[in-house]
A and B are shown apart, each in its own frame.
Chain A
């Protein structure tokens, strides 16, 4: 598939214009939802050269849930409801159909897309919607439309307008570390920060405007917060020893993080209003890798207090800590699913590291991946997809899997080793 070089839109620190991570499905579900996006009718003087229906189709197909019909296969190309004959689409086993038209908005460059989603099986109009954007930001407009279609069909937010941050390092001579952000479809890949010393653990703020990460630029680990769109950067108060593993609270007021100023790595909470640390755990073993529960009341973390790394959950208000994993001798770096009912983590079995998911209620553990050195799982904001870091032929790569384990994909890139993916929150509202 050819990706056009797209102009960088938001990120002023960007310097690379090529698309990087491309999602390639390696194993799809057997019965994907079949959808037909009829080419959008352009009522514009100078229609853009990009095709909205192609971007929307490729969005919906990207995680394997949908299969979209190419216009070549379509028996008719209806422009309006009146020209729609369900029979034509039933013959092609299409489940859903999208018709739309784009017209000039009030402001120059503004595009207004009117589109309708039909349930072919039930011969019923499901939704009419209007999305406004600009020809310059056509990809963004297409992603919003994809999100709405996805939401209408699956009842969950679409994730096609989200982004991913990750660390990139070539194991070659230059030894430079890059913190990058890209659209989830790989476009608009840009460098947020680069250093000759290690960069680690990027984490999106809940408002999607900032990244917290660890940089060794001062010769020791230190936590930085950087505004993505302005580049404005600040560091947290430095303490002796490790300063790492930042994780934003749902309210964005606090960061959970790890400090070893008490001679052992413990979980602390940084108050961004008061610029001060508060200690949350206190144990002579290693406590690390905190993640805030979606309701902000608990923190899940890794501790070797039992002798091996295991997952624990702490209730912040009373400091009560409960062990959550009992299977195996290496369970680490848990991340809550967005519904707060499960967590995804790194689980070692037979000396291999896999991504697993465990229910908090039933404690049932399910291994999801069959790769060998898997780590850093990050979950899509709608809870459906996991992207994680792994190795392929000794190269750091990103791969993904749906949380039901049915769809697998890789994210090949031309830019050397990639690791520590972190999925942004939803960046645009998908309801309307």
Chain B
């Protein structure tokens, strides 16, 4: 199964669960995305309640590995009855206010999938920091990749 097919299936799954308009909109631009999809730097192992999900440039749809990471996060959040805060972040490219909006879309994408996997909405808060809080400085692809993220933190 090609990566593109995987994407469509995952997007379809998410949409069917959440009826999420944002995700379906992403499908329209997916053809453009797919060539770039491959990186899967996930910093936290699935057994933890906290984790970081990475995104493609200018996108807020979830990659296949992000979906499985979030599913694992959901299970540990439920079993530990944790309350979490999801922070959405972007790389420095593009405008700051647009990135603030993009960061929120990323945080919401993670939040929605956590809820689909049984985490109660009352135990999730989201905030977007846009490009204001990079983990690493540097105007290059390696920094940008690390900065395009949603971070799930236990409150």
B98 within 8 A of A: yes
Binding site for B on A (CB under 8 A): 171, 198, 200-201, 216, 219-221, 241-242, 244-245, 258, 260, 263-265, 284-286, 288-289, 302, 307-309, 330, 332-333, 346, 348, 353, 372-373, 375-376, 391, 394, 420
CB distance from A177 to the nearest CB of B (A): 8
Chain A residues whose CB sits within 8 angstroms of the CB of B128 once the complex forms: 221, 242
B94 touches A284 (CB 8 A): no
Provide the bound-state CA to CA distance between A296 and B21, in Å.
33
B124 at the interface (CB under 8 A from A): no
Cβ B93 vs Cβ A373 within 8 A: yes
Chain A residues near B29: list those with CB within 8 A.
307-308
Q: In the complex, are the beta carbons of B94 and A201 less than 8 A apart? A: no
Smallest distance from the beta carbon of A198 to chain B beta carbons, Å?
Answer: 4
- The CA of A263 and the CA of B92, in the complex, are separated in Å by 24
A263 CA to B29 CA, complexed, in Å: 21
Binds A, one of B8-16, B41-49, B63-71, B133-141: B133-141
Selected contact of B129 from candidates A216, A241, A372, CB within 8 Å = A216
Q: Which of B93, B101, B104 has the most CB of A within 10 A?
A: B101
Q: Does B36 contact A (CB under 8 A)?
A: no
CB pair A241–B104 under 8 Å, yes or no, is yes
Q: Which of B99-155 contact A (CB under 8 A)?
A: 100-102, 104-105, 108, 126-130, 132-133, 137-139
CB pair B139 A200 closer than 8 Å: no
**C-alpha gap A245/B133 in the complex (Å):** 17
Closest to A394 in B: B139
- Quick check: B96 and A376 within 8 Å, CB to CB? yes
Taking CB atoms, residues of chain A closer than 8 Å to B93 are: 353, 373
B95 touches A333 (CB 8 A): yes
Contact B137 A288 (CB under 8 A): no
Residues B132 and A391 in contact, CB atoms below 8 Å apart: no
Query: Given A200-B132, A220-B127, A394-B139, are A284 and B97 also a contact pair (CB < 8 Å)?
Result: no
Within residues 16 to 65 of chain B, which ones have a CB less than 8 A from any CB in chain A? Answer: 21-22, 25, 28-29, 58
Asked if residues A260 and B97 are in contact (CB atoms below 8 Å), the reply is no
B127 A219 Cβ-Cβ under 8 A: yes
Which chain A residue lies CB-closest to B60? A286
Of the candidates A219, A288, A309, A373, the one whose C-beta lies within 8 Å of that of B139 is A373
Can you spell out 18 A-B residue pairs with CB atoms less than 8 angstroms apart?
A198-B132, A200-B96, A201-B97, A216-B132, A219-B127, A242-B104, A245-B97, A258-B100, A260-B104, A284-B25, A286-B105, A333-B97, A333-B98, A348-B94, A373-B93, A375-B96, A376-B95, A391-B139
Using Cβ atoms and an 8 Å threshold, which residues of chain A touch B58?
A: 330
In the complex, the chain A residue whose C-beta lies closest to that of B132 is A198
Which residues of chain A come closer than 8 Å to B22, judged between CB atoms? 264, 284
Shortest C-beta distance, A391 to chain B (Å), equals 6
Residues of A with C-beta under 8 A to B137 = 171, 394
Q: How far does the Cβ of B110 sit from chain A's closest Cβ, in whole Å?
A: 15
- Closest beta carbon of chain B to A375's beta carbon, Å: 5
Which among A219, A258, A330 is the interface contact of B94 at CB below 8 angstroms? A330
Which chain A residue has the least Cβ–Cβ distance from B138? A394
- CA of A308 to CA of B98, assembled, Å: 11
Query: Do the beta carbons of A286 and B96 come within 8 Å of each other?
Result: no
